Amino acid sequence: MTERAAATAASPDRALAPPPRRRDRSGRGRRSGRGPSLRARWLRDRSLLLMTLPAIGLLAVFHYVPTFGNIIAFQQYNPWDGVAGSPWVGLYQFERLFTDPRFWNAVGNTLVIAAVQLVFFFPVPIALAILLDSVLARRVRLVLQSIVYMPHFFSWVLVVTLFQQILGGAGLVSQALRGAGYAPLDIMASPDAFLLVVTSQMVWKDAGWGTIIFLAALAAIDQNLYESAAVDGANRWRRMWHITLPGLRPVIVLLLILKLGDILNVGFEQFYLQRDAFGSGVSEVMDTYVYHQTLVTGNFSAGAAAGLLKGAVGLVLILVANKTAHLMGEHGVYRRS
């Protein structure tokens, strides 16, 4: 019999005693086999927690507190009576929303625009990041990055104005056609060209900014893999297909999930500025519909119902896409421990 077994047999109460406390690196004790206590973790991370307080305050004031205002979607809201004095109508606003043809027109336009942008816009930052990463000269790479990043900082007013000056009825393209003896072409007022115009504007403005994440992901790929593949005789296309794209796949899946959750939020300023030129039949999206229902017609409850429905659909899409990512073996946005 060992000494510990003999001691336990001589003193049964000792076997019921709690395990001895050990000292961690910070000098505070913790029980064997368990993590640090809540107080120890608070003392350890108090500086980081204090640093996050401003961000938590901003989220609470501008995101979480306004969420309670969605209650007006179930009321016949009147600003003069307030939330407490407005009558409760239940799901009437949603029934009215589903029978409004303008709402379904906005939903259809939003889905078509989002699908086109997802197909044509999403691969562009990936291609730009791969091209920029292949530039060997550091100064040349920095100049090219600055050029492709710059349009992101332009306002939509400036972007739409630039496209109007180039593709409008009095723009450079129309003037060149007049000089050649042809009829002018006003692309900025043609409903058939609306999808092409807004997608081109989105790509020109934000594609360069989207390359930042993919460049960071490319920097995390082990360069020894490229060297080994080159030694084995793999050309540049093979290395890109078997090393670069698999290395970018987790980031691509994550951004794709976030994009699907934001699919009904294609933007406001870009479409509001061009709504009169192209016509509401093709340019009315969910955001402009909510704007006109609330601030133009004064029907705040209908606008709140449309916004609440848009948020609910986005949440469902994120959950479905995240579950699909788990089935594909990716982490997605979150994963249960």
pLDDT given for residue 57 in this prediction:
92
Tens of pLDDT, residue by residue over 16-50, are 445 555 554 444 444 445 678 888 888 888 899 89
CB 120 within 8 A of CB 203: yes
Report the mean per-residue pLDDT for the chain: 82
Give yes or no for residue 114 having a pLDDT over 50.
Answer: yes
Strands (E), the chain: 21-23, 29-31
Q: In whole angstroms, how far apart are CA 182 and each of 61, 67, 190, 314?
A: 57, 55, 18, 47
**Tokens 């409004």 appear where?**
100
Give yes or no for residue 161 having a pLDDT over 70.
Answer: yes
Cα–Cα distance, 74 to 90 (Å, whole number): 5
Tens of pLDDT, residue by residue over 42-60, are 888 889 989 999 999 999 9
All residues at 6 or more sequence positions from 301 whose CB lies less than 8 Å from its CB, including other chains: 72, 73, 74, 75, 76, 77, 89, 93
3-state secondary structure of 146: helix
Global confidence as pTM: 0.74
CB 271 within 8 A of CB 288: yes
pLDDT given for residue 27 in this prediction:
47
Measured at the CA of 111, the angle between CA 127 and CA 163, to 5 degrees, comes to 60
**pLDDT tier at 296, thresholds 50, 70, 90:** confident
pLDDT given for residue 158 in this prediction:
92
Beta bridge partners of 75: 88
- Closest C-alpha to 4, from 15, 18, 13, 19: 15
What mean pLDDT is predicted for residues 326-333? 74
10 Å CB burial of residue 180 (0-12, 13-18, 19+) is exposed
What mean pLDDT is predicted for residues 61-86? 87
